[in-house]
């Protein structure tokens, strides 16, 4: 039996289905077959461009989008795709020209297209333009929680905290189930020191809402602090499991690269508050939970990792001893002194400031005593 006749739309629909299933190779094959029969089908060239883009084959993607635009200069999806590719090549002016052409063609009311353009700009850190397109989407669709949240994200990245807070709250007014917006808002509130408000929002999320562990760590610490929960409390178990899942989902190469990226120039793990709120805890979690050292006799010895924050906002991560050594090295006058001398002198100074005796017999006692005296916070 011969294969039934397929139109260009049939090939386009088949490719779309494969693309949505993440089967990019198969989608490209379907599109290639379709283009062999219908070389002037604009939609097939556009589909090829997006499939190539998904595979990060930017030169091929650019060629496909340019072929589509050669056939139809006003095709909005081709212009959006070409703009996204140009961003990958660093041609911001060319990309924005493509996106502005879409506006000139009258697609301001196309909610999904405006968000697509805004997100492409956001990913490449063209933040002022990203915010502009998110605001276009919001103007046309003022009840869009997704658009409001996107404006909030861009505002935050542009250091406009007031607008970020307003639009994230607005997004939640429009749709209380906007998990990403709620998590982002909670992180902003936490960084402002508004811990009760942060906990209010974090408690309204589920472990599965989180794809970045920073907010989970904060939720756990806030729950332990506010409700006096022990670390092993059953209420915290689902959150600990989610943290483990996030680590388990990462490939070994990703974890290695992430740990390298998490290190500052001095070799110390960066303060989480100095990192982007989303997609960043992966750079800290492996080191914070499973960092190990080689002990005597060649046996792998696992030491529990802690996180301590000073009143000045500096965060240290490592074993108790590693944290105190980092603190000593940061204190210029003690850079060449011993750990014992540093702890003794610092404990004495702390007692004069607070009237509370701080033990200096070992790093753990020293840090816990400093926390009891209110001189630092033990976050984990």
Instruction: Answer yes or no: pTM beyond 0.75.
Output: no
Confidence of residue 256 (pLDDT cuts 50, 70, 90): very low
Count of beta carbons in the 10 Å neighbourhood of residue 269: 21
Task: Give tens-digit pLDDT for 330-354.
Answer: 877 776 778 888 888 888 888 888 8
In a domain, 311, yes or no: yes
Tell me what pLDDT residue 41 has: 96
Mean pLDDT of 148-158: 95
In a domain, 355, yes or no: yes
- Confidence check: pLDDT of 137 > 80: yes
Confidence of residue 291 (pLDDT cuts 50, 70, 90): very low
Q: Are 252 and 300 in contact (CB under 8 A)?
A: no
In a domain, 18, yes or no: no
In a domain, 44, yes or no: no
Tell me what pLDDT residue 133 has: 98
Count of beta carbons in the 10 Å neighbourhood of residue 300: 8
Q: Phi, psi (5° rounding) for residue 281? A: -65, -25
Buried b vs exposed e over 185-217: b needs ≥16 C-beta within 10 Å?
bbbbbbeeeeeeebbebbeebebebbbbbbbbb
Contacts of 53 (CB under 8 A, 6+ apart): 61, 81, 84, 85
Task: Give tens-digit pLDDT for 68-96.
Answer: 999 999 999 999 999 999 999 999 999 99
Residue 261 or 321, more confident? 321
Mean pLDDT of 2-8: 72
In a domain, 62, yes or no: no
Rounded to an integer, what distance in angstroms lies between the CA atom of residue 56 and that of residue 32? Answer: 18
Chain length of the chain: 380
Q: Number of structural domains, the chain?
A: 1
Q: Are 80 and 98 in contact (CB under 8 A)?
A: yes
DSSP code string of 60-93: HHHHHHHHHHHH-TT-HHHHHHHHHHHHHTT-HH
10 Å CB burial of residue 307 (0-12, 13-18, 19+) is buried
- Confidence check: pLDDT of 62 > 50: yes
Mean pLDDT of 300-315: 68
In a domain, 370, yes or no: yes
Structure tokens at 359: 């033990």
Confidence of residue 118 (pLDDT cuts 50, 70, 90): very high
Tell me what pLDDT residue 356 has: 86
Rounded to an integer, what distance in angstroms lies between the CA atom of residue 239 and that of residue 220? Answer: 7
Rounded to an integer, what distance in angstroms lies between the CA atom of residue 275 and that of residue 281? Answer: 9
10 Å CB burial of residue 366 (0-12, 13-18, 19+) is buried
Calculate the alpha carbon distances from 221 to 95, 226, 326, 371 in Å: 43, 9, 23, 15
Task: Give tens-digit pLDDT for 175-231.
Answer: 999 999 999 999 999 999 999 999 999 999 999 999 888 899 999 999 999 999 998
Tell me what pLDDT residue 276 has: 37
Mean predicted lDDT score pLDDT of the chain: 84
- Confidence check: pLDDT of 248 > 70: no
Residue 363 or 101, more confident? 101
In a domain, 358, yes or no: yes
Tell me what pLDDT residue 289 has: 28
Location of structure tokens 């001095």 = 266
Q: Range with the lowest mean pLDDT among 8-17, 120-129, 160-169, 274-283? A: 274-283
Q: Are 288 and 282 in contact (CB under 8 A)?
A: no
Residue 264 or 7, more confident? 7
Confidence of residue 251 (pLDDT cuts 50, 70, 90): low
Rounded to an integer, what distance in angstroms lies between the CA atom of residue 36 and that of residue 46? Answer: 15
Location of structure tokens 């996204």 = 84
Domain of residue 349 covers 298-378
């Amino acid at each position: 039996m011969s294969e039934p006749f397929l139109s260009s739309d049939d090939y386009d629909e088949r490719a779309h289905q494969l693309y949505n299933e993440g089967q990019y190779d198969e989608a490209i094959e379907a599109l290639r077959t379709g283009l062999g029969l219908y070389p002037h089908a604009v939609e097939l060239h556009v589909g090829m461009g997006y499939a190539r883009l998904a595979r990060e084959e930017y030169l091929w993607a650019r060629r496909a989008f340019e072929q589509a635009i050669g056939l139809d200069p006003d095709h909005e999806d081709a212009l959006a795709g070409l703009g996204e590719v140009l961003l990958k090549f660093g041609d911001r002016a060319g990309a924005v020209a493509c996106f502005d052409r879409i506006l000139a063609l009258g697609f301001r009311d196309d909610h999904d297209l405006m968000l697509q353009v805004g997100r492409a700009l956001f990913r490449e850190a063209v933040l002022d333009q990203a915010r502009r397109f998110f605001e276009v989407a919001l103007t046309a669709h003022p009840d869009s929680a997704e658009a409001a949240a996107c404006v909030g994200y861009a505002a935050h990245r542009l250091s406009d905290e007031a607008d970020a807070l307003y639009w994230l709250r607005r997004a939640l007014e429009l749709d209380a189930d906007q998990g990403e917006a709620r998590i982002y808002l909670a992180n902003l509130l936490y960084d402002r020191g508004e811990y009760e408000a942060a906990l209010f929002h974090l408690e309204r999320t589920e472990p599965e809402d989180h794809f970045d562990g920073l907010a989970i760590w904060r939720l756990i610490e806030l729950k332990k602090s506010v409700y006096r929960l022990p670390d092993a409390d059953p209420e915290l178990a689902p959150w600990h499991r989610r943290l483990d899942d996030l680590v388990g989902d990462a490939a070994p190469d990703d974890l290695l690269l992430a740990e390298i990226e998490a290190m500052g120039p001095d070799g110390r793990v960066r303060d989480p508050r100095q990192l982007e709120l989303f997609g960043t805890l992966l750079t800290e979690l492996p080191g914070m939970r499973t960092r190990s050292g080689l002990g005597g006799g060649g046996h792998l010895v696992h030491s529990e990792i802690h996180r301590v924050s000073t009143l000045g906002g500096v965060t240290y991560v490592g074993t108790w001893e590693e944290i105190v050594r980092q603190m000593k090295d940061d204190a210029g006058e003690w850079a060449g002194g011993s750990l014992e001398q540093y702890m003794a002198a610092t404990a004495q100074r702390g007692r004069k400031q607070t009237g509370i005796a701080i033990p200096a017999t070992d790093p753990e006692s020293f840090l816990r005593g400093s926390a009891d005296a209110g001189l630092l916070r033990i976050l984990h």
